[in-house]
Amino acid sequence: MSGIVQIVGVTGFIGRHVFKALSEAGSSVIGTSRKGRELANVQMDSSVFVCSDANNLEEDVLVCQGVGVVVFCAGLAHVHKSSGVEISGFEQVNVDLPVRYAQAAIAAGVGRFLYISSIGVHGEGSSEPYFEGSGFAPSDEYSRSKVAAEQELARLFRGTDSELVIIRPPMVYGRNAPGNFSRLASLVQKGLPLPFGGLHNPRSFISIQNLVSFLVQCIEHPDAGGKVFVVSDNDDTTTCGFVREIAEAQGRSVRLLPVPAWLFVAGLTLLGQGKAARKLSAPLTVDCSHAMKTLGWRPPYSLREGVRMSFEKPR
């Protein structure tokens, strides 16, 4: 794809890694975020550089002149309660914002629009690997908002000259990753016995390095347009095994107590952490053969390498 790449959500965990990778590869990149920070490695005339996520979500959002690909990385992922205000926030950030950017991209003649969704649109707890054709079965407000966004984006791009690409990753891990990965790393670092020894549920994960590699492939590959992809490290483990990899990467020994999964969930539910417990104890694997065959992509790093890089000192 020719032209500039615009990254929406450049200050987020995924967005900043995509910006860095593309910049280092010599691509022309512009990044925007709702926090008002703007990054660009290309010179843009001030009268042309009019793109903004806008602190006020009611303001207009525009795609910059000369942009050939938009990578939409923005999103709201974690809330603790399902209040009306928080649900409204999901709808604004996870549905309304990508839809409005898509409308601007189509109007600007952008060739390709990459939307980062979530494997959570398929649910959790399946004994079979999820693939692109797995049915929608969202289990919380976050995954429901992702389904709504996917459906509305598919409707918008239908019959246009712009191509929509949807990517559904499982839990993304890496240095300073938000969510459960950082929590697990912090628990391991404390050196206390942990109740993960009985969690032998199969799990797929993806390192930020592997996800960025795949996103770059989706930007460049002619066969990516109009496709949906589920993607992972293609190197499955278990929750128990993942915690052991984190400990090894940190250079720490860890004692994992063989607490049965049902008791693990019940105990954390009493502590107000039932949602996190259910996610950690449920089986969730991904069959990413479609992504690998269609785009000729292979994850550059194994899960062990990805976890190790998560704790290496930045260069």
CATH number at residue 161: 3.40.50.720
Over residues 179-185, mean pLDDT: 92
What pLDDT is stored for residue 38 in this prediction? 57
What pLDDT is stored for residue 49 in this prediction? 34
In a domain, 236, yes or no: no
In a domain, 109, yes or no: yes
In a domain, 211, yes or no: no
In a domain, 225, yes or no: no
One-letter amino acid of 241: G
Q: What percent of the chain has pLDDT over 90?
A: 71
The reported pTM is: 0.91
In a domain, 159, yes or no: yes
pLDDT digits (tens, 9 = 90+) for 272-287: 888 889 989 999 999 9
Domain hosting residue 30, numbered range: 4-168
**Pair 52, 28: CB distance under 8 Å:** no
Q: 263: which residues sit within 8 A by CB, 6+ positions away?
A: 198
**Pair 145, 121: CB distance under 8 Å:** no
- How does residue 32 score in pLDDT terms, banded at 50, 70 and 90? confident
The yes-or-no verdict on residue 219 having pLDDT over 90 is: yes
The yes-or-no verdict on residue 116 having pLDDT over 90 is: yes
The rounded radius of gyration (Å) of the Cα atoms in the chain is: 20
3-state secondary structure (DSSP) of residue 167: strand
Rounding to the nearest 10 degrees, give the CA dihedral for residues 85, 266, 259, 121.
-40
More confident residue, 247 or 83: 247
In a domain, 142, yes or no: yes
What pLDDT is stored for residue 196 in this prediction? 96
In a domain, 285, yes or no: no
What pLDDT is stored for residue 61 in this prediction? 74
**Pair 209, 169: CB distance under 8 Å:** no
Indicate which residues carry an active-site annotation: 142
- How does residue 50 score in pLDDT terms, banded at 50, 70 and 90? very low
In a domain, 315, yes or no: no
What pLDDT is stored for residue 66 in this prediction? 87
Count of domains forming the chain: 1
CA distance 255 to 85: 40
Which spans in 251-288 are helix H?
261-270, 274-281
- For tokens 């189509």, the residue is 106
